[in-house]
Structure 1
């Protein structure tokens, strides 16, 4: 088999890994939104694969959960069936994480043994695997922050967990695109990519930053306040933005400031994507890039609608999960557009 065919197979495998990571991020968001993240109070990478099977085992798991502050402070009236509901969310999230590890590790070893992986790609694949392992550890580190007297997961650890997941997703996607489109350059005589390459790269980074700001909104449950749009408590700039000292802490710990920041950053991103779309379309892009640009614009409008609806309706689980899923889709389309433009 030729090197080009090998790279294409590896690229398809990486695309599949990206798809599973995408669902992992969405499931993680749903786990948080349903208050399920602290239902499994132990980290058992091997034995944790097997869930409670009998009534006695379920009672044992529930009794273990009852020893921790979340049950005592937030859920003292929870029944066994209620515990099972939140348990299955967290269990599914952890199980999918293990599945992704297997999905990545064994094919990687196979490709190494077969000699299909070129030398420049080997350290990148190894880095992906290491980052995936660190992500699992970071997830448990995040959960531990809520197994204390105050049963509230640290927003810093939550954003770190989310940020690393999105970074790994974007990194794998980019490498997969490099392999898939190797030696294939779009033919165009009219498109001038000058200037757009840096703008597109900036847009990807800025989207990542906005996504992280959304993580702080989620971590502080800031979406449950100021449920009006576009004003906050009847004002464009609400009171109480800088009530915490030192001032910089307001950007990470003040609910009002965190929500205000996300609104401002999201608005700036909306304008930046619109400008990018107009600039690119004026240069008569090739057909494939044009499709990606149209999808990007459509997803931008959907994402804004989801964000506003989530806020106005006081963060219903389905809408909030869709908003998080939409953020990752928008980032994906921006990365696709960026990669295509950089090949021109």
Structure 2
């Protein structure tokens, strides 16, 4: 809730709330763009053009012909019709339009504040970091798409993971600035920082592994739980594979670790529950943290058992934002 009566601070809070919602929305649209295999439908960056979708048959044919030149079409979608192409085009188009909107909204209000509140300029500079990261994210988006246009039928899962990671970094930064402005009360009892830092690192690694899985379509390999088609360790990998850096290209290994890290995170959750109850810490963050992680674990299992149904997979990706912001709140209140 926005409670500040200071016009400057109130403007900042409204702006940060709006930025958070917009970035959350683009992560959702980006995830659906990936899940519907729509990300390569527009084969040019089109930084300043492409604001309007194709408005004539000739324009549609042009974009479709450009798409026909890439491996995804020649090797996989060679039977695709123009009507089917329009569906995947609009997913990617919507993603790019939303990215442009976020870019504008990340800088125009700051310029306004910078010019109007000259005495507050020292408090505005830090917010420009959001704009810089968003510009970098735009470049990463094209860098990712480019990896699927020549020799591959899909984008690099490393670049996909990087693109998602920066998106989550941006929304985390926006959220950190937001709760800092809201002056949320800190814990009277402190959680050991080493434990909390390890927990945060595990969450980040888990999100990266999730992005790897999405990029490699690894969720389609083992759709049983708690076993992996009757095995604890995937039957198509050796023990040595589990400790090889090359295995970051192996979806079976990635899924194995994604599952195991989830169990470790659950153990940390039990430990935090113990601390919260023993020390009588803030029950609100206690409830939110539990719900966020348990909901995400449940969604992961459901997504797996459903054969990566799009609705569940999309919710699972968005659940990572809830988990991440819950942990960030925990870190903030502990400092």
Counterpart of 1:248 (choices 226, 229, 245) is 245
Ranges of 4+ aligned residues in structure 1 off by more than 4 Å = 2-5, 241-246
1:62 is displaced (CA, Å) by 1.0
Q: Is the 8 A contact 2:41 2:89 kept in 1?
A: yes
CA-based RMSD of the aligned residues comes to 2.2
Match in the other structure for 2:133: 131
Match in the other structure for 1:271: 267
1:299 is displaced (CA, Å) by 2.2
Match in the other structure for 2:71: 69
Separation of aligned partners in 2, 1:88 and 1:59: 14
Q: Is the 8 A contact 2:107 2:128 kept in 1?
A: no
Counterpart of 1:204 (choices 185, 192, 200) is 200
Q: Is the 8 A contact 1:6 1:116 kept in 2?
A: no
Q: Is the 8 A contact 1:196 1:280 kept in 2?
A: no
Separation of aligned partners in 2, 1:233 and 1:99: 44
Match in the other structure for 1:313: 306
Describe the shift of the 1:231–1:60 C-alpha distance in structure 2 as closer, same or farther (beyond 3 A): same
Match in the other structure for 1:20: 22
Q: Which stretch of the first structure deviates more once superposed, 40-49 or 290-299?
A: 290-299
What are structure 1's unaligned runs of at least 5 residues?
A: none
**Pairing of 1:96-135 with structure 2 (within 5 A):** 96-115=98-117, 118-135=120-137
1:196 is displaced (CA, Å) by 4.6
What are structure 2's unaligned runs of at least 5 residues?
A: none
1:275 is displaced (CA, Å) by 1.8
Describe the shift of the 1:13–1:245 C-alpha distance in structure 2 as closer, same or farther (beyond 3 A): closer
Residue 213 in structure 1 maps to residue 209 in structure 2? yes
Q: Which stretch of the first structure deviates more once superposed, 317-326 or 228-237?
A: 228-237
**Pairing of 1:1-344 with structure 2 (within 5 A):** 5-115=7-117, 118-181=120-183, 185=185, 192-239=188-235, 240-241=237-238, 247-250=244-247, 252-285=248-281, 289-342=282-335
1:64 is displaced (CA, Å) by 1.5
